[in-house]
Amino acid sequence: MQNEDVWLVVPLYDEATVIAEVVREARATFPKVVCVDDGSHDDSAAQAEAAGAAVVRHPVNLGQGAALQTGFDYALGDPAMRYVVTYDADGQHQLHDVEVMLERARRGDVRVVFGSRFLDERTEASAGKRLVLRAAVAYTNVTTGTRLTDAHNGLRVLHRDVVAKLDITQNRMAHASEIVAQIGAMRFDGQRVAYAEEPVHILYTDYSRAKGQSLWNAVNILAELIWR
């Protein structure tokens, strides 16, 4: 079966309205999906499970960083897993972008492919949000030694070797920069880990904006980065 070596890791928190559709659509292309229910107050976990996802539950809300780490640990339990894709539960990510990123990763010259909403014009973000996110990117590039255009994009493709080395301790918004920092510091056979970026379309809907994808959320990302 196609993509049997790929796991989609989906942090899940109070997304019962949309998660079943997200999982069903994803599994048409990527049959292996694990949703980490991070202490939801609704029936998100049941909806995800009914749609065919594997579900791991946190009894209390620990944050997206912790949910990703739990998902990584779960995916590593599958010896056939070669790639992990970090994927949002709210419908913002596009499966076509995942396919393009995986095709890039499968060439074998990079172990990580980061999605970037700033490499083309498909993503409709406000000028204010773009400004704050670019400031966060600049800060992350300076402090991690990487060179990215969108360090806080949740769509990533990670080779198994990278997943096995990641150890996320920042549970909240700063986890994205921690992932970048750890990848920037990784060495394989004495060489720094190779990575690439691919343009992706982040679809901001009324639903996702209501869930926190606002300018204020971007400001919080920058503030937490500096505090960290």
Domains of the chain, each with CATH number or no CATH: 6-227 (3.90.550.10)
Write down the pLDDT at residue 214.
52
For residue 112, count other CB atoms closer than 10 A to its CB. Answer: 24
pLDDT tens-digit map of 45-76: 999 999 999 999 999 999 999 999 999 999 99
> Tokens for 180?
């970048």
Q: What mean pLDDT is predicted for residues 192-198?
A: 95
Residue 24 pLDDT > 60 = yes
Of 60-64, 161-165, 194-198, 220-224, least confident by mean pLDDT is 220-224
Task: Provide the pLDDT for residue 182.
Answer: 94
Residue 223: pLDDT over 60: no
Per-residue burial over 190-212, b if 16 or more Cβ lie within 10 Å, else e, is: eeebebbbbbbbbebeeebeebe
Q: pLDDT confidence of 191, banded at 50, 70, 90?
A: very high
pLDDT tens per residue, range 115-157: 998 877 776 555 555 666 666 666 666 667 788 888 788 999 9
Q: How confident is the model at residue 215 (pLDDT cuts 50, 70, 90)?
A: very low
How far, in Å, CA of 227 to CA of 16, rounded? Answer: 32
Is 70 exceeded by the pLDDT of residue 44? yes
Rounded CA-CA distance 119/33 in Å is 27
Range in 43-52, 75-84, 92-101, 208-217 the model is least confident about: 208-217
- Grade residue 174 by pLDDT with cuts at 50, 70 and 90: confident
Average pLDDT over residues 170-181: 82
156, 172 contact by CB (below 8 A): no
pLDDT at 131: 62
Mean pLDDT of the chain: 87
CA distance 203 to 149: 18
Among the listed residues 77, 97, 104, 81, the one whose alpha carbon sits nearest the alpha carbon of residue 154: 97
Q: Which of 198, 199, 217, 200 is nearest to 209 (CA)?
A: 217
Tokens at 183, concatenated: 């990848």
Alpha helices in the chain (DSSP H): 19-27, 44-50, 64-76, 95-106, 127-144, 160-165, 175-185, 206-210, 215-227
